Chain A
């Protein structure tokens, strides 16, 4: 069965997906930060099961994209890194969710 132009366009919309969030590890980080107000580095590391280096690298990318805010504080004289999604990050995550849902619904059967 031939794919129509309209269907083709819908399929091509996947190319517009936000790649910064689409990467599985970053998607997991963003999802955790989306459901909480904020969390520290250790909590996200424990929940996602990512290594310290891996988490750091993905957080750097999300921070550079303006999706994650990283604050460093001293708690009981121990340096702690606190993470939260920025309003832009929240918006981007919601938009990603919406476009993925739409894309999967639009896929020809």
Chain B
């Protein structure tokens, strides 16, 4: 048997272990659910796009808080905890900068749409194109920097489903560019993937005894 000690792989393995519980997948899925529910608010209660998104924020914050609690109460007692090394910290800082830039670009795009809405709305494929690019870019970066390949699958799913939603919208089968359908399916798949990972995680890692937590040193 020949095994080499690859420190990079070892670091990836240790870091990836913290994503085994599927909790981040569940949070991502719930976040995408906002894209499904917000347009429904628009049509049902007459809120604008902006206020619909704002109204959904508390739900997102609750979901985020639940994931944090889950990490502390479910993951840490079963898997243990670790603090990432310097190299990984740098990578995550890079990812954060990219996410902030994407949010800023999103705000700028939103302002442009706000000012030139009617003209831009006639160009049907601009919005789906931007959405596909933003999601693919974000998920790809996350997949590479976090070493979680399934995030790439999530990005690909959005890129495939958004144009389908747009086609259905243009043919009059669905409302709101098909967002409720597209993001409903996407968030369902991602949340289910997260739940599957969580179940596997709970099966793999039983709750250790106090002695195991403590060691005997």
Contact = CB atoms under 8 A, between A and B. Distances in A.
Interface of A: 27, 31-32, 34-47, 52-53, 55-56, 59-60, 63, 70, 72, 75-76, 78-81
Interface of B: 5, 7, 10-11, 13-14, 17, 72, 76-77, 79-86, 205, 208, 210-217
Nearest to A37: B83
A43 B215 CA distance: 11
Given A34-B7, A40-B82, A42-B80, A47 B14 contact: yes
Contacts, number: 92
Nearest to A75: B76
Which secondary structure characterizes the binding site on chain B? helix
A31 B217 contact: no
Contacts of A44: 80
A68 B86 CA distance: 18
B212 A35 contact: no
27 contacts: A31-B10, A35-B10, A35-B14, A35-B85, A36-B82, A36-B85, A37-B82, A37-B86, A38-B82, A40-B213, A41-B215, A41-B217, A42-B81, A43-B17, A43-B80, A43-B81, A46-B80, A52-B211, A52-B215, A55-B215, A56-B216, A56-B217, A63-B217, A70-B215, A78-B210, A81-B215, A81-B217
Contacts of A47: 13-14, 17
A39 B82 CA distance: 4
Contact of B215 (A34, A36, A59, A78): A59
